[in-house]
């Protein structure tokens, strides 16, 4: 059993019998006919158009103006009302060559943006693919103000309904039933995929969820408290402020203490959880001051300790994991550690917690505000439950991945979720492997990127060097669902397009084997 490379059929053979490769009777006429024939509940068909390959498209919404498509397809743009004051904008891309599969894609940040690159990736892989703006336009929380409907759409409803409607559009266009349904998303899209498994377990047979922004309220609290610790929103007036140019010295000290833990000194800490970073070694001494050696004051060290330790509630329970050592060298470190207050956190405080359009004074944010912040869930947007029993019972398969150097969503939350599912469902890792697998990606940042990271494995529309179920995570979930072949490793490719690395199935970790001259899972 194998998954063919993308240059051939993206179809599975099993037991000597080829799955039927479904093709439409595509073309402009059959596509344009959908404008009049589609009748969808609470939905307006905005436009239907046919596009040969390749094409440049005009986008809906304010997030981007144009997008590229690489295969011939039928484009259905629609808007759905979810209440009298809420609704979402969505698109279904229906490729000429269709293999009977459906794919829903998620969003990022505070959503509000249709992910056109993922629509193109899905249709190029011969999935009928659907995406939405998750209930509002633009990557801010302005639309959440006094609008529970928009909040529900952001939490889970828009992705669920885009899937229900997308499946109806797909079935009508091709005149055949969908054989298998999948989901892929990262960041907020990872959270949305987890919500789908929790709340709408029948929507998908396979889910790929990356850098999941789980326990969402606590994530924003962690980001806000880190920012406050280093002086936000008035860093120049703060004795604890760590300029962006100084974080390189933090990285240097982290590597001095922890680089060798994975068996090789290569500028990467493969498993930051094994790194007990001692910030005191950065404290200025008289010699440092006299010689001009980069070092940190006591107030700055105190700020670093807030960053590199978990955040706890007043009762001592952990609110959110620590910021991982080496994540500070990622460009997106500015999200929390630039001296500015994170815009997502201030938006959430204004429009969700305080229900006001007035400017929020972030200098007031502290533990009391965090407690208030924590009380506002927004239709269960937090997304932190371990009961995936319904998804498991329907035969669903779930692949989670998270970069160990993610500066936006602390990587420890992926392990906390894994352990929560394990304890809630009373399943040890060997049993959990039957439907839920987590892959930690050494040195990868938020969803992709990272210093010497083997960060290309099909999670975005970037071709890997071979494109098989070993090297392409979307093909991996297809192979697991349709062929029963669960992935033990995901092979990532570095930016050079040649160098690869095996990414391990948690709880295994990656260690350098000098005899084999490569990283292995132990």
| 210 and 144 within one domain | no
In the prediction, which pLDDT does 26 show? Answer: 62
User: Is 406 noted as a catalytic residue in this protein?
Assistant: yes
Q: What is the mean pLDDT of the chain?
A: 93
**The one catalytic residue among 156, 446, 472, 503:** 446
Do 27 and 174 belong together in one domain?
yes
Alpha-carbon distances of 58 from 69, 87, 199, 353, 446, rounded to whole Å: 11, 21, 33, 36, 28
Reported pTM:
0.95
**Active-site annotation holder among 187, 240, 346, 469:** 187
Question: Does 6 reside within a domain?
Answer: no
Q: Are residues 199 and 336 in the same domain?
A: no
Residue 164 shares a structural domain with residue 228: no
The structural domain count of the chain equals 3
Residues 90, 145: one domain?
Answer: yes
Do 263 and 351 sit in the same domain of this protein?
yes
With respect to residue 8, please indicate whether it lies within any of the assigned structural domains: no
Q: Which pLDDT value is given to residue 18?
A: 37
Q: 135 and 238 share a domain?
A: no
Domain that includes residue 229, residue range: 220-374
- Are residues 401 and 506 both part of a single domain? yes
CA–CA distance, 270 with 441 (Å, rounded to integer): 8
Residues 40, 167, single domain; the answer is: yes
Spell out the SS3 assignment of 297-356.
CHHHHHHHHHHCCCEECCCCCEEECCCCCCHHHCHHHHHHHCCCCCHHHHHHHHHHHCCC
Question: Is 433 considered catalytic here?
Answer: no
Q: What is the mean pLDDT of each run of 10 residues along the chain (522 residues)?
A: 37 38 68 97 98 95 95 98 98 97 96 95 97 96 96 97 99 96 98 98 99 96 96 95 96 99 98 98 96 97 98 94 97 89 93 92 90 80 96 99 98 99 98 99 97 95 70 97 98 94 98 96 98
**Which residue in the list 153, 215, 262, 406 is annotated as catalytic?**
406
CA atoms of 240 and 337, how far apart (whole Å): 12
Whether 191 maps to a domain, the answer reads yes
The pLDDT value given to residue 15: 32
* CA dist., res. 21 & res. 16, Å (int): 15
Whether 446 sits among the annotated catalytic residues: the reply is yes
| pLDDT tens, position by position, 120-177 | 999 999 999 999 999 999 999 999 999 999 999 999 999 999 999 999 999 999 999 9
pLDDT at 463: 52
63 in a domain, yes or no? Answer: yes
Answer whether residue 18 is part of any domain: no
End of a domain among 331, 356, 374?
A: 374
- Give the pLDDT score at 334: 83
Q: Which of 341, 374, 407 is a domain's end point?
A: 374
């Amino acid at each position: 059993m194998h998954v063919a490379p993308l240059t051939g059929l993206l179809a599975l053979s099993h037991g000597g019998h080829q799955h039927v490769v479904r093709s439409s009777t595509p073309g402009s006429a059959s596509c344009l006919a959908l404008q009049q024939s589609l009748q969808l509940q609470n939905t307006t068909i905005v436009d239907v158009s046919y596009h040969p390959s390749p094409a440049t498209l005009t986008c809906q919404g304010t997030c981007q103006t144009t997008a590229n498509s690489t295969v011939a397809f039928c484009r259905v743009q629609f808007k759905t009302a979810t209440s009298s004051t809420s609704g979402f904008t969505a698109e279904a891309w229906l490729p000429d060559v269709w293999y009977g599969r459906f794919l829903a894609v998620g969003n990022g940040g505070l959503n509000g943006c249709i992910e056109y690159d993922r629509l193109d990736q899905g249709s190029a892989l011969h999935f009928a693919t659907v995406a939405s703006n998750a209930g509002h336009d633009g990557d801010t929380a302005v639309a959440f103000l006094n609008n529970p409907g928009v909040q529900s759409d952001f939490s889970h409803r828009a992705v669920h309904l885009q899937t229900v409607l997308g499946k109806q559009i797909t079935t009508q266009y091709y005149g055949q039933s969908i054989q298998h349904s999948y989901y892929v998303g990262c960041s907020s899209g990872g959270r949305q995929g987890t919500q789908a498994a929790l709340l709408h377990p029948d929507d998908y047979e396979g889910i790929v969820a990356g850098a999941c922004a789980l326990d969402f309220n606590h994530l924003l609290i962690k980001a806000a408290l880190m920012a406050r610790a280093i002086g936000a929103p008035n860093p120049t007036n703060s004795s604890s402020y760590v300029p962006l140019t100084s974080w390189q010295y933090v990285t240097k000290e982290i590597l001095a203490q922890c680089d060798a833990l994975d068996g090789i000194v290569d500028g990467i800490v493969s498993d930051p959880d094994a790194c007990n970073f001692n910030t005191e070694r950065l404290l200025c001494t008289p010699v440092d001051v006299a010689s001009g050696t980069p070092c940190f004051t006591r107030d700055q060290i105190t700020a670093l300790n807030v960053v590199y330790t978990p955040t706890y509630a007043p009762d001592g329970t952990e609110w959110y994991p620590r910021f991982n050592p080496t994540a500070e060298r990622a460009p997106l470190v500015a999200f929390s550690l630039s001296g500015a207050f994170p815009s997502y956190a201030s938006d959430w405080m204004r429009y969700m917690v305080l229900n006001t359009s007035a400017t929020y004074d972030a200098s007031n944010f502290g533990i009391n505000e965090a407690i208030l912040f924590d009380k506002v869930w927004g239709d269960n947007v937090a997304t932190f439950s371990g009961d995936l029993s319904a998804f498991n019972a329907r035969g669903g398969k779930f692949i989670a991945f998270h970069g160990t150097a993610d500066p936006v969503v602390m990587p420890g939350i992926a392990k906390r979720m894994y352990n929560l599912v394990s304890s809630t469902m009373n399943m040890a890792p060997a049993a959990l492997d039957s439907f839920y697998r987590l892959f930690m990606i050494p040195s990868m940042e938020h969803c992709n990127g990272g210093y010497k990271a083997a960060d290309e494995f099909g999670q975005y529309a970037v071709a890997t060097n071979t494109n098989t179920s070993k090297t392409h995570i979307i093909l991996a979930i297809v192979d697991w669902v349709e062929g029963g072949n669960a992935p033990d490793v995901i092979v990532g490719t570095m930016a050079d397009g040649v160098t690869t690395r095996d990414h391990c199935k948690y709880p295994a970790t990656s260690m350098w084997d000098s005899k084999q001259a490569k990283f292995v899972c132990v």
